[in-house]
Amino acid sequence: MIFADIHCHALCGSDDGPENREDMYKLINTMYDDNIRYICLTPHFHPGYFGENANNSVTAFNDLREYVSKKYSDLKIYLGNELRYNQGCVNWIKEKRCRSLNNTEYILIDFHDNQSVAEIIHGTNSILNAGYVPILAHVERYTRLNAKLKLISELKENGVIIQIDAQSVIGQFGFFTKLRAKKIIDARLADVIATDAHDTDKRAPCMIKSYEYIKDRCGEKYAKRITFDVPHAIICNKYSGRN
């Protein structure tokens, strides 16, 4: 089983991912060993915290593309961002300061845990109203949303894509985060599992383990759907909502 990952921080010098090229290569090798064959790299877009990192991201991406093309014939990489929501962020998308995923209509967006449920609803609506499709990053980690299934269903019906971190599924973010992830997966409300990998240690990719857990719990079809079919279709801009 191979996987597609639409959320990870593997570009060096861009955010809180790898600090240098060697660590970037090491993380990519680990992702390859974890059977990931399509990777959309999503450095944080949060100018107030990480500064203007667009140039560093492109430099690291070009370097990585060269490394990958020499080492792996069957690994494809793409570029995007993970946008931290704030009130003016839709302008950053329109001005192309913040990237969509691989130049598609999909925007990976995350919220601070202090932000309210109302802000999550308002924020995702503002992305939709601007003509983009928000992918709500690590939905299970927002304590205020608290994996409320009705709210998550309503977000989905509105057109929001629901993403869960692979590490949450297997308990690496603690008992309660795992509980929330399980609840969302059991209700079949998760659309995508992504690594959100930052390194090869505490924030390592763990797609194989996560896939196996979901397969045992919910069956092979759903496990494949959320670890490959949907994220791959998103990267290709071919997701219809039914893949």
Residues binding Fe ion (CB under 5 A): 82, 196
Angle at 239 between CA 235 and CA 242, to 5 degrees: 145
DSSP state letter for 194? E
Q: State the burial class of residue 136 (Cβ atoms within 10 Å of its Cβ: 0-12, 13-18, 19+).
A: buried
- Pick 90 or 197: Cβ nearer Fe ion: 197
Angle (nearest 5°) at CA 59 between 127 and 40: 45
CB nearer to Fe ion: pick between 82 and 191:
82
CB of 26 to Fe ion, least distance (A): 19
Q: Going edge to edge, which strands form the sheet with 76-79?
A: 3-5, 36-41, 76-79
State in angstroms the smallest separation of the CB of 194 from Fe ion: 8
Q: Are 101 and 107 in contact (CB under 8 A)?
A: yes
At closest approach, how far in Å is the CB of 180 from Fe ion? Answer: 17
**Which residue, 177 or 188, is less far from Fe ion as judged by CB?**
177
Alpha-carbon distance of 135 to 125, in angstroms, equals 12
Using the minimum distance from each CB to Fe ion, give the nearer residue, 191 or 196.
196
Pairing of β 36-41 and β 3-5 = parallel
Note the helical H segments in the chain: 21-33, 47-50, 54-71, 89-94, 117-129, 149-158, 166-169, 175-186, 207-218, 220-224, 230-235
Measured from each CB, the residue nearest to Fe ion is 196
- Shortest distance in whole angstroms from residue 50 CB to Fe ion: 12
Q: For residues 196 and 229, which CB has a smaller minimum distance to Fe ion in the complex?
A: 196
Min dist. Cβ of residue 7 to Fe ion (A): 6
- State the minimum distance, in angstroms, from the CB of residue 230 to Fe ion: 18
Whichever of 5 and 82 has its CB closer to Fe ion, that residue is 82
